Amino acid sequence: MVFTWYSEINNSDEIEQGDMIPDCPIVIPPSKINVGDEPEIEIKLIDSIILSQSCDLANNKIQIVLVCPYFSLKTFIESLPENEQSKKAIKRNIENLRKGFLPGYHLLNKSEENNIEDYIVIDFRNVYGIQIESLRELAKNLESRQRLLPPYREHLSQAFARYFMRVGLPQDIIVDGY
């Protein structure tokens, strides 16, 4: 049985978890803000995917929608450190990404039928918030956008939760005698 990864949404302000919003404007505050100064902000356009729960979006339970950037697998590979650029290292990184061993990232499939020509990498390390009405207006003005479908949407949500629920221990367990 084949499960479709994406559906195409046209000129709709309905948004759900897993909706891909290209060129989403994100507010970037300055790295340093002095008390009393009016901070200068930067607006950055990112290709983003919605991570807030669909039920919260549909029932207007939130005002700020969580989004994360996404980019092509090619871009991910090009951004690897120089010592990770060998064919063997690239293959290992792709396999680790595919298996979920790189918790800050999540891999989505490509789809010729939806004009997604390369695999997509979601970056959980950078989470942004955008006002829900602004996002709905952006979505409505997009002639075409992609929506990640179940069960892949739930898999994305699970990977996002796993990334945020990690706990760093002050001391690792060392097992001796076995």
Mean pLDDT by 10 residues, the chain (178 residues): 91 97 94 86 96 96 98 98 95 97 98 96 98 97 97 98 91 90
The per-residue pLDDT for 169 is 86
The per-residue pLDDT for 130 is 97
The per-residue pLDDT for 31 is 87
pTM: 0.91
The per-residue pLDDT for 1 is 72
Of 158, 152, 157, the closest CA to residue 6 belongs to: 152
Give the separation between CA 112 and CA 81, rounded to whole angstroms.
30
Architecture, CATH, for domain 12-164: Roll (2.30)
Give the separation between CA 120 and CA 70, rounded to whole angstroms.
7
The type of residue at 101 is F
Of 162, 17, 33, the closest CA to residue 102 belongs to: 162
